[in-house]
Amino acid sequence: MSCYRKLTVYLMRHGNCADGEILRGRTDSPLSEQGQEQMWNAWRELCNHLPEGKLLLLSSPLQRCSLFADSLASEMPEFFERPLQTANWLQELNFGEWDGKSMVALQADYPKATAAYALDPLNHTPPHGETVNELYQRVNRGWQDLVEELLSSQQDNALLITHGGVIRTLISEVLNPGQAPLSGVFSSLELPYGSLLKIVVDAHEVDGEWQCLPKLHWQL
């Protein structure tokens, strides 16, 4: 006996923040007015492409994601299966001692270290920061749990409101499953504020076990 499920998971990056050009990881920055508009524009665009069925809504607990997600759940409850949930695995990379500091100041104080990090973040980590490999382990565990939750609950669609580092990690995992994160995805891929993309998972249940093949879609 076999069974087929198609899961669609939408990824939305938060919008522009109010505190300028800083290295923003766990720093709990608020959205700017522009950032809020970017996210509402992304939602309106997503509404034109949603499949049938309600969405599971998950957000990073950091306010640049969660406050918009809470507004979305409150104002558009008809789109969501249940109230907003936050998930720690959707938090941005922790930049340690550099977190929350301006890029200009960091580049002035640590020119060699910041240049090395920008070119090869996999092998250069800010002092007391989270490594990209640690981010990968965290996000991959959360992703696997999410897929299992969707399959067990008969829920087919989800919207994750999260951060650039998390989205890059998921891109890397889909393109290079089970392997070390792809350096170029972190150093050379432009991912604007308010970005939207989706991952479609083809899931086949064979003899009681699910075999899943995720595919990255740049267009909704």
Residue 201 three-state SS: strand
What pLDDT is stored for residue 126 in this prediction? 97
Q: What angle do CA 181, 183, 189 make, to 5 degrees?
A: 110
| % pLDDT > 90, the chain | 92
C-alpha 52, offset from chain centre: 23
- Burial class (CB within 10 angstroms; exposed 0-12, middle 13-18, buried 19+) of 219: exposed
Q: What's the rounded Cα separation, in Å, for the pair 206 and 133?
A: 32
| % pLDDT > 70, the chain | 99
Tokens of 44: 């309106």
Average pLDDT over residues 67-82: 95
> What are the start-end ranges of the H helices in 48-131?
63-75, 103-109, 111-119
What pLDDT is stored for residue 3 in this prediction? 92
Checking if the pLDDT of 127 tops 80, the result is yes
Of 183, 189, 21, which Cα lies nearest the Cα of 116? 183
What pLDDT is stored for residue 65 in this prediction? 98
Tokens of 107: 């580049």
pLDDT range class, residue 2, cuts 50, 70, 90: low
What pLDDT is stored for residue 145 in this prediction? 98
Of 59, 71, 210, which Cα lies nearest the Cα of 147? 210
What pLDDT is stored for residue 82 in this prediction? 86
CA terminus-to-terminus distance, the chain? 32
What pLDDT is stored for residue 38 in this prediction? 98
Average pLDDT over residues 36-53: 96
Q: What's the rounded Cα separation, in Å, for the pair 91 and 29?
A: 13
Average pLDDT over residues 110-121: 94
Q: What is the pTM of this model?
A: 0.96
* pLDDT, the chain, mean: 96
At 145-184, the pLDDT tens digits run 999 999 999 899 999 999 999 999 999 999 999 998 998 9
What pLDDT is stored for residue 208 in this prediction? 87
Q: What's the rounded Cα separation, in Å, for the pair 39 and 18?
A: 14
